[in-house]
Amino acid sequence: MAAKTIVIYPAPILKTPCAPVEDFDAGILEVIEDLVDSMRAGPGSVGVAAPQIGVSLRACVVDVSKNRLGKDNNHGLLLMVNPEILAKSGSAVMREGCMSVPDYTGDVERATEVTLRYREPDGATREFTATGFEAVAIQHEIDHLDGMLFLDRIGSLKTGLFRRKNYK
């Protein structure tokens, strides 16, 4: 398929909870392929959610394997449909950015370990535990599916939001 144009905040789709995927057919495969292509085309991107390419479905992709923070602890390319977090533990504050909010980064507190369940594009169910940077990236993308941005999780916009110096 092809990399899609990333939807930029304040587009309403970014603040709208997504519908669950009901049909595991060629349509969801196309969305997943577009998400992977869009993630790989994005500068430093480790994940993309369907609303970021204008699709209001519960689908996202994550791959932290090429990022210095995730290269030693990851499950590779995750193609997640209808993901849900079953358990969370630990806590850390990390600087997050988002292709849909290209001019800013922010300090966000997230769980350092998550157990999740999702369906693969072929409908198979998968469940596992992610830790560290991969857990953070997964939570960030699932937030998109729930109509939330990292901006919604910043404790103080005065002290926790930063203008991005460059975005390449």
Residue positions counted in the chain: 168
- What are the average pLDDT values for consecutive 10-residue runs of the chain, which has 168 residues? 94 98 96 98 95 98 96 96 98 96 96 98 97 98 98 90 78
Q: Give DSSP secondary structure letters for 87-100.
A: EEE--EEEEEEETT
CATH says 12-163 is which class?
alpha beta
Catalytic residues: 141
**pTM (whole model) above 0.85:** yes
For 37-79, the pLDDT digits (tens) are: 999 999 889 999 999 999 999 999 999 999 999 999 999 999 9
